[in-house]
Chain A
């Protein structure tokens, strides 16, 4: 099914309503639902969270837009609530963390492959190998501190092996800034990809900052603090690929189109009928938002939204195991480092980043400590140990 953006009017904003009961739907099953259902729930929470964040900032800078921003933002807020409350309370914070990293790996890998701009694709692959390593470190933490198998969450779709070592991901802020796409030349899908990944990373940063201090184990607390720092770098990286010369209205249009695109992608791949109905409903809501914003765009900028948006929504994001692509990327690019906006071999890394990293790691590295000698085994590494002993 292809969605024509300008023909599909969606549900008008005034008909987008929620009861409080609707905001807290029956959660998905941690045990029985497909891992990709959780992946989509987590991603869409991040997409809505970033839409909300953007719209609040836009209101701070645009008095004339405050009223329509407030109206749309209220719906976005309730959409986010309904989506995020799909996560069941039997997910421990660390299990949810494994879910967040699965989102980062699977969605970034899918987007790296659909991205037409080679430089942007490289940016995604670079970030991918770092989140991939976070999965390995958090899985070790889960195994060694909580005695649980991360694969109960991953369902064998995503590997648990080291990527670019987290301890080497710490960089000077200047080496996290990338070249941005050109708003006049970039394909619409490139602009939307950037919003998707930035949104996902931003919510991950915020999630770790919120739940990190709730852990009692000192290694867990330290690991969350360390990885949150990398997620902050990732938000810097992905924020910097967006053209800063886009107008507020241009950005708003793109955000709405991207929300519609993501709900469409979720809808196309969803296996849980009840959750699919939510994606369908929210696709219609986002198309409603898009048409409201398109009218505002015409009013305020005297321009045609078709200059910014594609006629049809692009092909949906693929929700399927990206194991092969991730491993190939790992083999080819694990030694890449950043020097300013360029990706270089390890030997050409900027001194400023080496100095920054040396100091940060100077009193120990939680990510190295937690995973020292760790190799994932079905049923945890204890499974292997006692098999040897018997």
Chain B
């Protein structure tokens, strides 16, 4: 079964039906009055942004004691709440990332079996990354519990981060997408993840959480490997397809 993108009967562009398209374009000019301004739309959007309430709040710790209590006493302002929000975001992202790698491993197994690419995708590396995503998830559970924060709660940044990643997850779970298409989505997720771990290390250091910062640095180092290898495979996938198409 041919799985890579190829030349075919794509009907989405105007060149597919030049007569219809010409009529459509001339009709748009002839029948559309040139009134109003596009800026009206942004005025409506601006007003909505100005009036909007937020998505929700960072959960209040169930047991405000231990590390979080001392952190809240030591640091004024929102710093501890932001840290909790970001810990919750990372936790949710790593949990989802574990599932994403499961979907990627399946895709890779089928791609290898069907010879979608002129080389074998290293499943063992994907399985390794999958395991690390799960370990990072567990690390964050432990960190939140130490702080007395409920690791099952969905923080606002966890919510938004899942929304941002939802398109990439759709790409990976669609049976019709090719392995390179999935790799591009994966690269987007890993690049975001990488930057987020860097920030989490800094936030932990800012709050004097040296143990956490050290553990986060280890996770960051592993995530850097994910990004590097995913990027290399992605490029190799696309370039091998391109060279295959021209020979």
Contacts and interface: CB of A to CB of B under 8 A. Distances in A.
Q: Do A and B come from one complex?
A: yes
A387 B30 CA distance: 20
B66 interface: no
Given A31-B11, A156-B17, A369 B32 contact: no
Contacts of A377: 25, 28
Contact of B24 (A156, A370, A373): A156
B47 to A, nearest CB: 8
A368 B36 contact: yes
B193 to A, nearest CB: 23
A3 interface: no
B40 A161 contact: no
B9 A32 contact: yes
A369 B28 contact: no
A214 to B, nearest CB: 11
Interface string B1-36: 000000011111110110011011101110111111
Interface residues of A, number: 45
Nearest to A149: B12
Given A32-B11, A369-B40, A375-B28, A156 B20 contact: yes
A156 B14 contact: yes
A89 interface: yes
Interface stretch (A6-14, A53-61, A215-223, A343-351): A215-223
A156 B36 contact: no
B33 A162 contact: yes
B14 A151 contact: yes
A157 interface: yes
A218 B24 contact: no
Contacts of A31: 10-12
B1 to A, nearest CB: 12
A372 B12 contact: no
Nearest to A324: B23
B124 interface: no
Contact of B38 (A30, A160, A218, A372): A372
Interface string A153-182: 101110111100000000000000000000
Given A152-B12, A155-B16, A161 B41 contact: no
A321 interface: yes
Given A162-B32, A372-B36, A375-B28, A155 B11 contact: yes
Given A32-B9, A32-B10, A378-B14, A160 B44 contact: no
B28 A321 contact: no
A369 B44 CA distance: 8
Contacts of B45: 217-219
B48 interface: yes
Interface in A1-57: 27, 30-35
B11 A219 contact: no
A330 interface: yes
B176 interface: yes
Nearest to B48: A218
A89 B41 contact: no
Interface in A133-158: 136, 144, 151-153, 155-157
A90 interface: yes
Given A32-B9, A144-B38, A375-B32, A323 B27 contact: yes
Of the candidates B17, B21, B41, B176, the one having the most CB atoms from chain A within 10 angstroms of its own CB is: B41
B174 interface: yes
Contacts of B43: 369
Interface in A340-383: 364, 366, 368-379, 381
B55 to A, nearest CB: 10
A161 B14 contact: no
B31 A162 contact: yes
A361 to B, nearest CB: 14
B11 A370 contact: no
A78 interface: no
A183 interface: no
A44 to B, nearest CB: 20
A136 B33 CA distance: 12
A151 B29 CA distance: 15
B37 interface: yes
A368 B35 CA distance: 10
A300 B225 CA distance: 74
Contacts of B170: 89
B31 to A, nearest CB: 4
B28 A35 contact: no
A161 B12 contact: no
Contacts of A213: none
Interface string A181-220: 0000000000000000000000000000000000001110
Interface of A: 27, 30-35, 88-90, 136, 144, 151-153, 155-157, 159-162, 217-219, 222, 321, 323, 327, 330, 364, 366, 368-379, 381
Given A160-B24, A327-B31, A371-B36, 15 more contacts: A30-B12, A35-B11, A144-B41, A151-B14, A155-B16, A156-B14, A160-B28, A162-B32, A217-B45, A222-B44, A323-B20, A366-B44, A373-B35, A373-B36, A378-B25
7 contacts: A32-B10, A89-B174, A162-B32, A222-B44, A373-B37, A373-B38, A377-B25
- The 6 A-B pairs at the shortest CB distance, nearest first, are namely A372-B36, A218-B48, A156-B20, A161-B31, A152-B12, A373-B36
